[in-house]
Chains A and B, each alone.
Chain A
């Protein structure tokens, strides 16, 4: 090729590059400002998270939020920090206590800032990677969006997420923790929520005596426990299904209305706006049930005996009461065996796990 051709070729290539550069970039005026570039030496330590052999596949999208040691550490710091509430007094862990499978056993109803009392029993935080809908009424469908509700609920943490982010940015500890987890000191909604999810996702309860028996890792269940399991499978497992002990559905279990209750809580009906969903609530898991009193969405029962007594004595038949409860009978012997079985779902390794403590 001649010199002239080389020059022309170079010019053509340059022109081509120019065209490339001129391309409109759709979405480049994105609503996001460009974040600070991530330090090239940034590295996180993947956190080992395994699906227990006797569990179904999780539903949480771990690809969008890979668990890391640094993310867990940040999430745990956030979980136990009262900074997330308006007056600094109420952290997530204030209500969600490790020894109660991250439920609350001191109050029937949630307890928020300035000693305000909410309308529902604090649900446990365990095995959330298997749950698609959150809260008793399933109003939130994404674990990564869940913490916004308690943070902004006036009778729980009573702040705004915007203000919480502001406080985190001004806190001496957090920018460093965010940098370790996500590569820069930037504190955003996404990072805050994902870190909290990371902590919650590690709260897996799968090492109860029942689990170990099922997986052949520990002693088999006793005769009484096995009788209880048989009754359970026949009479309870329609709703408390799989080794998660919930089918994650919303049902009315026929609780009679408490006449002088402050509100008439219609539960799921308030979300779907359908009368046929009134008084339905999420079927809770029975894992660690022995350690998570009180029971029911309004915390009306304090013992498992009371719960079984409710089911055995013909639940009030409201129009939405679940048909699966129709004709349910439980003899005294069955109730005793059931409770014996339910106690095998207590997972002491999980309840006493130091990694999850403050």
Chain B
């Protein structure tokens, strides 16, 4: 009996010691996506901007999926956010959607993060039971028009608005529409892009409740002028055409580190 006692005690102590911090071991981290156009905050519908092709345009919608987030530690290793907790839909029209909260993050110093713009190919072909939250075709994504039902797949990034250089469509409006999806099924282009952001040498530690906020800037101008310069007059509608990959390449470059703040969120 005595030996059993010491055995249990030993096991308990070893288990306790094997975990660096017992409680709390994890914290939360908030990440805000700040959509901007050049140096200015993005203003839906109201403001006319000019792209690098010299074309004036307005923006009526900007939505994108952020998923499969990984946090990079000081030593270069990564914490992979559990996948079921790693799908977010950022919508310019909904301020609360622009700040995402990562919970149960192991306590460590993180110097950067990476994420997919879009929904990974595996989840894009998963059963209906895996399509919950923002992936639910009955609530989140479809309400925001972020999925195709006739050719099952999510729209990774949607940018819509008007431009005087575009010819009027059937509605009589000079609309442009970028609906970028496709994940490589049936040999279609794979427009999934992983974006990696370094916190400019700074590091952040999760906290409970979340006090740390990483702001990532998303500059819409880059969608028109990243790797490829796009012209709204030439391509007002880009959805499933091969040009969709050029848009994906461009928007993959629109994200940059904004700043890091700590304090009550």
Instruction: Tell me the A residues contacting B by CB distance below 8 Å.
Output: 1, 5, 8-9, 12-13, 15-16, 19, 22, 24-32, 61, 64, 135, 137, 139-142, 144-145, 148-149, 152-153, 160-162, 164-165, 188-190, 192-194, 270-274
Contacts and interface: CB of A to CB of B under 8 A. Distances in A.
Nearest to A147: B149
A40 B250 CA distance: 53
A176 to B, nearest CB: 20
B77 interface: no
Best-surrounded residue of B85, B128, B142, B242 (most CB of chain A within 10 A): B128
B82 A26 contact: yes
Contact of B16 (A19, A61, A272): A19
Contact of B131 (A1, A8, A165, A189): A189
Given A31-B85, A142-B128, A194-B128, A135 B8 contact: no
B245 to A, nearest CB: 11
Contacts of A142: 125, 127-128, 152
B123 to A, nearest CB: 12
Given A31-B87, A272-B186, 15 more contacts: A1-B5, A5-B5, A9-B9, A16-B12, A22-B24, A28-B104, A30-B132, A139-B150, A139-B152, A142-B128, A145-B152, A149-B149, A165-B139, A190-B128, A272-B187
A149 B240 CA distance: 18
A22 B152 CA distance: 40
Nearest to B182: A273
Closest 7 CB pairs of A and B: A31-B133, A189-B138, A26-B82, A139-B151, A29-B103, A144-B128, A272-B186
Contacts of B131: 189-190
Contact of A31 (B84, B149, B242): B84
B137 A22 contact: no
Given A145-B137, A271-B186, A12 B12 contact: yes
Interface in B181-229: 185-189
B134 A31 contact: yes
B23 interface: yes
A135 B150 contact: yes
A32 B133 contact: yes
Contacts of A15: 12, 16
B17 to A, nearest CB: 11
Contacts of A1: 1-2, 5
Contacts of A139: 150-152
A28 B102 CA distance: 11
Best-surrounded residue of B103, B133, B150, B242 (most CB of chain A within 10 A): B150
A26 B103 CA distance: 9
B94 to A, nearest CB: 15
Contacts of B104: 24-26, 28-29
B231 interface: no
16 contacts: A9-B9, A19-B12, A25-B104, A27-B85, A29-B85, A29-B101, A30-B85, A31-B133, A32-B133, A140-B150, A152-B149, A161-B138, A162-B143, A189-B131, A189-B136, A274-B187
A26 B85 contact: yes
B84 A271 contact: no
B242 to A, nearest CB: 8
A95 to B, nearest CB: 16
